Structure 1
Amino acid sequence: MELPIASHYNMLGGEAGIHRLVDRFYDLMDELPEAWELRKIHPQDLQGSRDKLFKFLSGWLGGPGLYEAEYGHPRLRMRHMPFPVDSQMRDQWLLCINMALDEQVQDNLLKNQLKSAFSNVADHMRNRQG
């Protein structure tokens, strides 16, 4: 079954494009001193995190629902409750995803739509003051 041409999943390049975005996001999180607090709440080996984010983004962006098929409903906020997500963590996460988008996405309309959507999700994930 082919996915609609206009899905964000397809516009990003399908599976390969989502993998590139996720890999660049985690590479930036690993490299940027400004993302140190965010990096330290992740496991030493980021492969599991990369895999889960890829699977989540696949479905969230209009592609195959890989995350839900394996783990059920994402319940993002609930799944992140054990981690201290304050404004600083949100901002560090957004720094990395926005830089990855700037590097990976040439279409400015798509890039801005995704930045807005990621910002809304990241803001919703906050579970601590500050």
Structure 2
Amino acid sequence: MSPAEHPDSFYAAVGGAPTFSRLVEVFYAGVATDELLRPMYPEQDLGPAAERLRTFLEQYWGGPTTYSDARGHPRLRMRHAPYKVSPAARDRWLTHMRAAVDALELPPLQHATLWDYLERAAHAMLNTVDD
């Protein structure tokens, strides 16, 4: 499914797959060297996690349904339950995601729309307190 098929979607408005690929690339470059977050990704290569995040975000914003086709309903809280998502982890996640969103250089309204969702999602994933 191309952005042209859903021209009114946020996905299309921000540039489609290349935009979300860039977002995830910059985000995981930060995660790869983060001593708090990196252990939460058990796979040796961050590629599978990056693919899951990219396809989830693309689908959420009106792009292809690749995520649900492969994995079913997102169930974000359930999928994150095995990991200690503390306020410190959430804040680190948001730090790397902020850098990724900023790297996209989106127009202000699109930037704010994307950031608002990501910030709310990060807060919703909390499942423990800091030690």
Say which is worse superposed, 37-46 or 1-10, in terms of deviation.
1-10
Secondary structure at the residue paired with 1:36? coil
Indicate the residue corresponding to 2:37 in structure 1. 38
Q: Distance in 1 between matches of 2:10 and 2:37?
A: 26
Deviation of 1:36 after TM superposition, in Å, equals: 2.2
Q: Which amino acid aligns with 2:14?
A: L
Partner of 1:8: 10
Report matched runs for 1:1-130 at 5 Å.
2-31=4-33, 35-42=34-41, 43-130=43-130
Cα distance in structure 1, aligned partners of 2:13 and 2:35 = 31
**Of 74-83 and 58-67, the range deviating more from structure 2:** 58-67
Amino-acid identity (%): 35
Query: Does the aligned pair in 1 maintain the 2:80–2:125 contact within 8 Å?
Result: yes
Q: Report if aligned partners of 2:101, 2:111 keep a CA contact under 8 Å in 1.
A: yes
TM-score normalised to the size of structure 1?
0.90
Query: Once the 2 structures are TM-superposed, how far is the Cα of residue 10 of structure 1 from its aligned partner?
Result: 1.2
Query: TM-score under structure 2 normalisation?
Result: 0.89
Q: How far 1:14 sits from its partner (Å)?
A: 0.7
Q: Which moved more, 1:89-98 or 1:104-113?
A: 104-113
Count of residues paired in the alignment: 127
Higher helix proportion: 1
Aligned Cα RMSD in Å? 1.5
* CA displacement at 1:54 relative to structure 2: 1.0
Deviating above 3 A after TM superposition, structure 1's stretches of 4 or more consecutive aligned residues are 1-4
Structure 2 portions without partners, runs of 5+ = none
Does the 8 Å CA contact 2:86/2:126 hold for their aligned counterparts?
yes
**How much has 1:73 moved relative to structure 2?**
0.2
Question: Match for 1:41: what amino acid?
Answer: M
